[in-house]
Structure 1
Amino acid sequence: MIPEDKIWLKHYPEEIPHTISYEDKALHEYLKQAASRYAKTSALHFLGKELTYEELYDQAKQFANQLQSLGVKKGDRVAIMLANCPQSVISYYGALMIGAIVVQTNPLYVERELEHQLVDSGAKVIICLDLVFPRVQAVRSKTSLEHVIVTSIKDYLPFPKNLLYPLVQKKKMGIKVEVEYDKNTLAFKDFLGKGSTKEVQVDINPKEDLALLQYTGGTTGPAKGVMLTHANLVINTSQCMAWMYKMRPGQEKMLAALPFFHVYGMTIIMNFSIMGGLTTVILPKFEVKGVLKTIQKQKVTLFPGAPTMYVALINDPDIQKYDLSSIETCLSGAAPLPLEVQQKFEKLSGGKLVEGYGLTETSPVAISNPIWGERRTGSIGVPWPDTDAAIISAETGEKADIGEVGEIAIRGPQVMKGYWNRPEETAKVFKDDWFLTGDMGYMDDDGYFYIVDRKKDMIIAGGFNIYPREIEEVLYEHDAIQEAVTIGVADEYRGETVKAFIVLKQGKSVTEEELDQFCRKHLAAFKVPKLYEFREELPKTLVGKILRRVLVEEEKEKHEENKVSNQ
């Protein structure tokens, strides 16, 4: 019998259970399980280098024991600032084994962003790439860091790539980083090599103990650490397993082009692959030709991505030269997936591509269209097993009627514990046990959900969440700027891109190029405005508040007019 408030369950394929019996395990226990079941199976494939599950588990244990030798204890925070590489998986699971809390850190962060995250989390150790070490070193004295563990992409490259890599990096990027090692600055390979492979015994309460602090921004105030428990992550990964029921444990190949430091790549690629005993084919960054070649050569079967990735692939002039027929399933996330992109990619690959919806606070996936079932145009789909979703009316604060627009709320065992050291911020986003997403949408009479707008002013560009206030604070630091406001505008490739509206101080001048250079000193590249418009004044309320929505509507009208004139 399907409950009246879960009408979406009637659209589940019969293979998907309405509820799941979850194991009461810490997340890292699944690596131990995979090493037992799939010992000789390739766990990681990295640019020609392979690690079996047996080897990966041993190296994670070595890392765990070495962290303990540094004095890292249960509950201590360990930051990981790496691109996709074997070291990121080893560090992640090794830290979890000793009960440490992982803090995923974007390698693109500039010093001010990095400093905030390290200070706020109180991280004692950071594992970073040599290329970002200068940034870590610049903020180190202002943080709680006791040890920095430095690695390089070449550390896990096969011969002779490992020898050629430094030369290629220097030639391509003009970068050669010299790291001075001492008792507090350690080389990853040496550090790992000294570790024992003995089992690490730390008591973990999966429902209460944190596995992860995943930072997410906000339209007000600095980025907040989302507290995700071992259970949150185990449950969301298990839900994904149920949703992708045709997946064959121990046999599939998963392409890791999404970054592991993003919660979506971390859960749907890294944790999912470990739980299922899959081979993760790792790419350190997304490059169209590299992805196409890898899919063809490695016969990749699973390819989670962001819409911009699929857009780039389908628009590559040489795509017909590559065999993508091995692809069976793709789950798109991090931004809305255009229907035409979905259809074209499915036609080119022969696989299924569906959109998932969620937030960092939901570990992250809460809603998706069925992969092998009814997909509805424009819909983000239906809630996953054990997940409730509802529309909360702005007028009444209660559940809205079918078809009525309101705020999407999520309730389920994958929802976060709260924000790190921010009980007031946590209270704002919960209504009883419902998490308020900030996204506006509606539900149809079959239980399919649709997003119509964001309550927050967040911009999603290329799958990255960008928060206007953060950019505006940087712009306001420029001595020529009197007023600044940023919005997301439509972009064929990135989904949205950042546009800044500027009012200059009287008698002052500044060029777009100068603002671009200024912003790049203070913001990660993906947050830097791509468009600028200088105005005499900005639209405001009677009390002087800038009307951001007026600018958004103006840009939408311009976009629609351009579409009509180009037809």
Structure 2
Amino acid sequence: MSEHRPWLANYPEEIPANLAYKSEPVQTYLTNAAKEFPNKSAIHFMGKEMSYETLNDHACKLASYLQKLGLEKGDRVAMMLPNCPQAVITYYGILLAGGVVVPTNPLYTEREIEYQMKDSGAKAIVTLDILFPRVSKVFTQTNLEHIIVTAIKDYLPFPKNLIYPFIQKKQYGITVTVKHEGCHHLLTEIIKQSNKELKSFSVDFEEDLAIIQYTGGTTGAPKGVMLTHKNLVSNASMSNAWLYKCKRGEETILAIIPFFHVYGMTAVMILSVMQGQKMVLLPKFDPEQTLKTIEKQRPTLFPGAPTIYIGLLNHPDLSKYDLSSIDSCISGSAPLPVEVQEKFEEITGGKLVEGYGLTESSPVTHSNFLWDRPRIKGSIGVPWPDTDSVILSFETGEPLPPGEIGEIAVKGPQVMKGYWNKPEETDQVLRDGWLLTGDLGYMNDEGYFFVVDRKKDMIIAGGFNIYPREIEEVMYEHPSVQEVVVAGVPDPYRGETVKAYIVLKESASATEEELNAFARKHLAAYKVPRMYEFRSELPKTAVGKILRRALVEEEKRKRDDKQEKQA
């Protein structure tokens, strides 16, 4: 479809247009790193280091235990953890056992956990003690047979490991005690075992799944994106080629982007292990803690999202911290404002560029160059090695010439196998190996791509993809709600924020506080509407379809009018 690839003329000589990939599964790279860098620090977590040898040892013990529990090749195991050593151990442990990882957001409510466990058919889940009650409540409604529990304190240094339980109780108001018996298992007990023997199994590099990564959709229910070992290895290899000035075994990566998000998993965790780098893990983004960590741990690579960089730049004590160690940052998940990019580079002395991708492409397909090439403002950059991209006409589906706006389509070894158990949805976005992104954009004469609009209805708030239909379905369950439509409205910090437009049933009543409390019971915090507007009716088409875009345009006009008055 795309024979003309003008972007290749812009490639520095250090970046090859095509890469060679070893047909080795993802877990092989941990085994190799443990042999090549046995005593090198793989992980730094809250003041404690873990070597590659220890990381591999713990992952192998978990893998052996999972096989003893009856895990067969291809069985799914969920991982519901923040960025902590246990997340890395669990991820590679599942793969070493022959399983398929199902990353699960720790913020998910019982409703969301139940759906994902049912849809994936996960046989086991590894989660935190404070999340155990939530998982337990849906356990019998799913295919889950085992819950493996760990605690943040388990991998903290002394005396933090003694103090943390008191902090946790104060913060969450609960103390959870789980016994290592029956279908409940403690990771600490698993790691104590000496047996690391693993049953052998073969891996089809191109066809076998490594993960099922869930993503939302305009149809409401999240879809499981099937990513193979080749998908993940190829995308991490592309990332390594793009970062050609980075030295193997010598870089330190700041791991704030969550590993349950495909960007954090591929561009941080897999890449780090593949190249023998050190990961500095932060379980959540706290601006002050992040600044302290950067100054003390001196990371050189800092993958992130715009809201993270904005949060740091707006910290009142920013000038007190030394951020000069940062050399390279690729921003993903949402558009990167130019002013943020320029200010961050001025403060750190490093490079911050915007990239582009989707869960369905493992995730990165495009990025700006970090070095040796001029920056193109507002561009998502050019396709990565082995990656093709075109702009397609919405009317004809044919490629458009430079400068014309259409749908961005991508093709490459990182493009997903399809959606889990959803062949019709797969056929809608995959055509002859091409992934139709649903994003509007154009390419200039030099091969740089620009996104002019996001997917029709998706909201991107704080780097999270939020899908209105899912929120609407929850709100419709409230007894007082007759009609609801959810849309993204501009927000100076989050990029967009969630707003719900509500029509109440006749004679019914509900306050904003009541609806907010209801939403929080059924949705992860980042999906809960931040704004509510009660209306007597909603704009509709002649056939009764609610016009979401009309409300978005209305909000835009309000903002423009307000800015004009202020000017």
Q: How far, CA to CA, are the matches of 2:109 and 2:476 in structure 1?
A: 18
Query: In the alignment, which residue of structure 1 is the partner of 2:473?
Result: 473
The equivalent of 1:563 in structure 2 is 563
Query: Are the counterparts in 1 of residues 302 and 329 from structure 2 also a CA contact under 8 Å?
Result: yes
Residue 218 in structure 1 maps to residue 183 in structure 2: no
- Contact 2:484–2:501 (CA under 8 A) maintained in structure 1: yes
The AA in structure 2 aligned to 1:172 is: Q
The range that moved more, 530-539 or 317-326, is: 530-539
**Per-residue CA shift, 1:249-273, capped at 9, x if unaligned?**
1111101111110001000110010
Go from structure 1 to structure 2 and tell me whether the alpha carbon gap of 1:180 and 1:563 turns closer, same or farther (over 3 Å shift). Answer: farther
**Partner of residue 499, structure 1:** 499
Match of 1:255 in 2: 254
Matches within 5 A, 1:297-376: 297-372=296-371, 373-376=373-376
The corresponding residue for 1:427 is: 427
How far did 1:169 drift?
A: 1.2
Letter in 1 for 2:528: V
Deviation at 1:196, TM superposition (A): 2.0
SS at match of 1:5: coil
Give, in whole Å, the separation in 2 of the partners of 1:229 and 1:458: 26
Measure how far apart 1:192 and its partner are.
Answer: 2.2
Contact 1:66 1:195 in 2 (8 A): no
* 2:43 corresponds to 1:44: yes
* 1:561 CA displacement: 2.4
SS of the residue 2:325 aligns to: coil
Alignment deviations for residues 21-61 of structure 1 (CA, whole Å, 9 cap, x no partner): 11111011111111111111100010011111111111111
Match of 1:186 in 2: 185
Q: Match for residue 97 of structure 2?
A: 98
TM-superposition CA deviations, 1:203-239 (whole Å, max 9, x none): 1111111000000111104111100000100000000
Aligned to 2:70: 71
Show the 5 A alignment for 1:496-535: 496-535=496-535
Alpha-carbon distance in structure 1 between the residues aligned to 2:129 and 2:3: 55
Matched residue type, 1:77? R
- The code of the aligned residue for 1:280 comes to M
Q: Give the letter for the 2:292 counterpart.
A: K
> In 2, Cα distance between the equivalents of 1:466 and 1:531?
15
User: One-letter code of the match for 2:389?
Assistant: A
SS at match of 2:353: strand
Give the drift of 1:200. Answer: 5.3
The one-letter amino acid paired with 1:499 is K
Q: Post-superposition shift, 1:201?
A: 2.7
Instruction: Show the 5 A alignment for 1:46-445.
Output: 46-198=45-197, 201-372=200-371, 373-445=373-445
Letter in 1 for 2:320: K
Contact 2:254 2:299 (8 Å CA) reproduced: yes
Report which stretch shifted further, 175-184 or 335-344.
175-184
Give the secondary structure class of the aligned counterpart of 2:149: strand
Q: Which is worse superposed, 478-487 or 173-182?
A: 173-182
Kept after mapping to 2: 8 A contact 1:390/1:408: yes
Q: Which residue of 2 aligns with 1:32?
A: 31
Tell me how far 1:535 sits from its aligned partner. Answer: 1.2
Per-residue deviation, 1:543: 0.4
Q: Matches of 2:130 and 2:424 in 1, distance apart?
A: 37
User: Structure 2: how far apart are the matches of 1:146 and 1:527?
Assistant: 29
How far residue 503 of structure 1 moved from its aligned partner, in angstroms, is 1.0
How far has the Cα of 1:181 moved from its partner?
4.0
Contact 2:220 2:467 in 1 (8 A): no
The one-character-per-residue Cα deviations of 1:102-144 (angstroms, maximum 9, x if unpaired) are 0000000001110010001110010000111111000000111
Q: Choose 408-417 or 553-562, whichever is displaced more.
A: 553-562
- The 2-side partners of 1:144 and 1:173 are apart by 28
8 Å Cα contact 1:11-1:374 kept in structure 2: no
Moved over 6 A (4+): none
Cα contact 2:67–2:198 (8 A) shared by 1:
no
Q: Contact 1:61–1:200 at 8 Å: present in 2 too?
A: no
Give the aligned partner of residue 489 of structure 1.
489
- Deviations 1:83-106, CA, capped at 9 Å, x for gaps: 111111011101111221000000
User: What is the distance in 2 between the residues matched to 1:196 and 1:495?
Assistant: 49
Q: Residue deviations 1:460-518, cap 9 Å, x none?
A: 11111100000001111111111100111111111111011111111122111111101
Task: Specify the code of the residue in structure 2 equivalent to 1:130.
Answer: D
Percent identity over the alignment is 61
TM-score (norm 2): 0.98
What residue in structure 2 maps to residue 451 of structure 1? 451
Question: Which deviates more from structure 2 when the two are superposed, residues 78-87 or residues 31-40?
Answer: 31-40
Kindly state the Cα deviation for residue 401 of structure 1 after the two structures are TM-superposed. 2.1
Q: Structure 1: which amino acid aligns with 2:534?
A: F
- Alignment check: 8 A CA contact 1:97 1:202 kept: no
Question: Take 1:58 and 1:297, find their aligned partners in 2: how far apart are those partners?
Answer: 28
User: In the TM superposition, what is the alpha-carbon distance from 1:170 to its structure 2 partner?
Assistant: 1.4
Shift of 1:171: 2.0
Number of aligned residues: 565
State the distance in 2 between where 1:231 and 1:462 align.
30
Deviation at 1:180, TM superposition (A): 4.4
CA offset digits 1:375-425 (Å, max 9, x no partner)? 211111100000001111012111112211111101000000000111111
Work out the CA distance in 2 between the residues paired with 1:194 and 1:306.
Answer: 39
- Residue identity matched to 2:523: L
Contact 2:178 2:186 in 1 (8 A): no
Comparing 165-174 with 411-420, which one deviates more in the overlay? 165-174
* 291-300 or 373-382, which deviates more: 373-382
Q: Matched residue of 2:472: which SS? A: helix
Letter of the aligned partner of 2:354 in structure 1? E
RMSD: 1.2
How far apart are residue 560 of structure 1 and its match?
2.2
TM-superposed CA distance for 1:326, in Å, is 0.3
Instruction: Work out the CA distance in 2 between the residues paired with 1:444 and 1:539.
Output: 37
For the residue of structure 2 that corresponds to 1:397, the secondary structure is: coil
Classify the secondary structure of the residue corresponding to 1:88.
Answer: helix
Instruction: Report the residue type matching 2:517 in the other structure.
Output: Q
**How many Å apart are 1:19 and its aligned residue?**
0.6
Q: Are 1:21 and 2:20 counterparts? A: yes
Query: 2:460, 2:250 → 1: CA distance?
Result: 34
CA–CA distance in structure 2, aligned partners of residues 97 and 53 of structure 1: 15
What is the TM-score of this pair, normalised by structure 1? 0.98
Paired letter, 2:92:
Y
Q: Distance in 2 between matches of 1:202 and 1:293?
A: 44
Q: Distance in 2 between matches of 1:507 and 1:418?
A: 47
CA–CA distance in 1 between the matches of 2:521 and 2:243?
42
Task: For 1:521 and 1:98, locate their aligned partners in 2 and report how far apart those are by CA, in whole Å.
Answer: 35
